[in-house]
Structure 1
Amino acid sequence: MNVEHGVHDAPYFVPSPSRWPIVGAVALFFFALGAALTVNKVAAGWYSLAGGLAILFWMLFGWFGDVIRESQQQQYGQQVDWSLRWGMSWFIFSEVMFFAAFFGALFYARSIAIPELGGDTLTRQLLWPDSQAAWPGNSAPTSTSYTPMGALGIPAINTAILLTSGATLTWAHWGLVRGRRLQLICGLVATIYLAALFLALQAYEYHHGFLDLNLTLASGAYGATFYLLTGFHGLHVFVGTLMLCVMLARASQGHFSEKQHFGFEAAAWYWHFVDVVWLLLFVVVYWL
């Protein structure tokens, strides 16, 4: 329904009561329960995990579908549009802080912990007398020898792929604002293809790291931070790819107009954020 709300915007859309929040709570309950049971090696844990994930995907599909239908029915005014933009902005800010914590952990390990352990200090004598102030290296007493992942090869190729995907998505956006739907669809298809190629190459990189370089999560601070940063970034690429697939489906049905297309813009913001994080990650994790 529409109600009068202040002087900034006359009609402000108030959604009807929804079942999706409680469905999401149920999904998270079964997911958490399944995780706890699985960790404790209870056979029913996997069934609870699978059920929680299934309910969660049902919630996402249904809730996003409701929002799309409301948008297509022109129920969102200017004030709602601003609310959505602020919501997406704060979400991306939370993601920035998420990665900032991991980059901070990498900085601490490289610039503080390793020099402390490798120097002539009491910490070295008590914790690891044979340690050396070298990065990357055997950054844990129990870690076996390994070969660090080089910047050239797959990491450099993936950098070029993500930069190209940012360009194809921008080209798709230009087509949208100029009313060229074929350009929009072709740009989205190209971006999704590049995203899938990035994920495939990263999976091959992990396979190479585990089997050929002996680089695992147990490879000291280097291995832990390497897989933590690149793994979570890969997860964000996967989520961004799902967003772009939804945008492609909506664009194919003619959902967006030259002036009303914030759903597409939100996905584009997220994708460009993923690009920027990878550039920083490539320099800090692979190159330096």
Structure 2
Amino acid sequence: MSHPASASRYFVPEPSHWPVVGSLALLLLATGAILTFNSIAYGAYFLFGGFAVLTVMLFGWFGRVIGESEGQRYNLQVDRSFRWSMAWFIFSEVMFFAAFFGALFYVRVLSIPDLASADQATLWEGFKNQWPTAGPAAKDAFTPMHAWGIPAINTLLLLSSGATVTWAHWGLVANKRQQLIIGLFLTVLLGLLFLGLQVYEYREAYSHFNLKLTTGVYGSTFYMLTGFHGFHVTLGATMLIVILLRAMKGHFTPERHFAFEAVAWYWHFVDVVWLGLFVVVYWL
């Protein structure tokens, strides 16, 4: 198991406890989120505990996989399995967002017109077929989010980050280590700027626009879509930081760099999803 992999030998890793640790982290995060959103005591403790366990798991599991890769234990067959695994993972993420976009489509195209129809006039008198809306039973007024402000800036940031990660890839393929590192650094910086602006946007939405998770169907779909995407940007930025640190240590060659490619695929996927969010959630 400790020798470099040959073309005819498939590396089988030793049993690992990290998947169990990761499952525990997800359980704590989910429990903490549910308790926090419902203002139940100790929710924050579960949430921060989940983040702590998740951080330990990421360092441990990433470190083990990186060690196996740098030890040349992976042959072409393992490389193909990694590529298929990443492709199916991104496909599963596409299905997640398809479900969320589908929920928004159902609300805007089917539910609201039906609730505002003449058949429902007795039940929901005065409710109009318009978007955005909190729903027929909503009482608190709110201000919807507009596209041409922070969302437009964030769109520019993410599109620019897609260009910088591609430029970094060109540097890697051309064996230009400095270009690779600079491109990755710029990509991480743009991703963190995006997250910072989204946090600022959320704070403004809560404090000045009265837009909350409890603000009817508009608030719930807005935070569901943008929040889930923000989680993916956070995950992508974390992976990019790992790749940047590895590049600074001299990892990756023009021939062997699938870890970089996998993260680049994921980052481009995040870019494309944001374009859909910008058009459907903010603009239309």
Same fold (TM over 0.5): yes
1:164 to 1:46, Cα distance in 2 relative to 1, 3 A: closer
Structure 2 residue 89 is matched with structure 1 residue 71:
no
Contact 1:162 1:195 in 2 (8 A): yes
Q: 1:142 aligns with which of 131, 138, 148?
A: 138
1-structure distance, mates of 2:225, 2:12: 39
**Partner AA of 2:69 in structure 1:** S
Aligned pairs for 1:169-184 within 5 A = 169-184=165-180
2-structure distance, mates of 1:164, 1:11: 41
Contact 1:143 1:219 in 2 (8 A): no
**Partner AA of 2:65 in structure 1:** V
Q: CA deviation at 1:238?
A: 0.9
Identity of aligned residues (%): 59
**Partner AA of 2:264 in structure 1:** A
2-structure distance, mates of 1:101, 1:27: 25
2-structure distance, mates of 1:245, 1:235: 15
The structure whose RCO (Cα within 8 Å, separation 6+) is larger is 2
Structure 2 residue 97 is matched with structure 1 residue 125:
no
**TM-score, normalized by length of structure 1?**
0.90
Q: CA deviation at 1:138?
A: 4.0
Match of 1:234 in 2: 230
Aligned to 1:162, the other structure's residue is in SS state helix
Contact 1:162 1:198 in 2 (8 A): yes
| Gap regions ≥5 residues in structure 2 | none
1:190 to 1:35, Cα distance in 2 relative to 1, 3 A: closer
Aligned to 2:9, the other structure's residue is in SS state strand
Structure 2 residue 1 is matched with structure 1 residue 21:
no
1-structure distance, mates of 2:237, 2:222: 22
**Partner AA of 1:147 in structure 2:** T
- More displaced stretch, 51-60 vs 72-81: 51-60
- More displaced stretch, 186-195 vs 17-26: 17-26
**TM-score, normalized by length of structure 2?**
0.91
Q: CA deviation at 1:221?
A: 1.3
1:172 to 1:150, Cα distance in 2 relative to 1, 3 A: same
Q: 1:284 aligns with which of 268, 272, 280?
A: 280
Match of 1:198 in 2: 194
1-structure distance, mates of 2:29, 2:198: 27
1:238 to 1:137, Cα distance in 2 relative to 1, 3 A: same
1:170 to 1:221, Cα distance in 2 relative to 1, 3 A: same
Match of 1:62 in 2: 60
Contact 2:213 2:223 in 1 (8 A): yes
Aligned to 1:10, the other structure's residue is in SS state coil
| Gap regions ≥5 residues in structure 1 | 4-8
1:219 to 1:50, Cα distance in 2 relative to 1, 3 A: closer
**Partner AA of 1:60 in structure 2:** L
Q: 1:257 aligns with which of 249, 253, 260?
A: 253
**Partner AA of 2:118 in structure 1:** D
Q: CA deviation at 1:77?
A: 0.3
1:146-205 Cα deviation digits (max 9, x unpaired)? 121111011111111111110011000000000000000000111111111111111111
Match of 1:163 in 2: 159
- More displaced stretch, 56-65 vs 136-145: 136-145
1:197-224 Cα deviation digits (max 9, x unpaired)? 1111111111222222222222221111
CA RMSD of aligned residues (A): 2.2
1:221-240 Cα deviation digits (max 9, x unpaired)? 11111111111111111111
1-structure distance, mates of 2:233, 2:49: 25
1:198 to 1:119, Cα distance in 2 relative to 1, 3 A: same
Q: CA deviation at 1:24?
A: 3.3
- More displaced stretch, 12-21 vs 160-169: 12-21
1-structure distance, mates of 2:27, 2:212: 31
- More displaced stretch, 78-87 vs 198-207: 198-207
Contact 1:2 1:11 in 2 (8 A): no
**Partner AA of 2:261 in structure 1:** E
Q: 2:266 aligns with which of 261, 264, 270?
A: 270
1:187 to 1:36, Cα distance in 2 relative to 1, 3 A: closer
Contact 1:151 1:287 in 2 (8 A): yes
**Partner AA of 1:110 in structure 2:** R
Q: CA deviation at 1:42?
A: 5.1
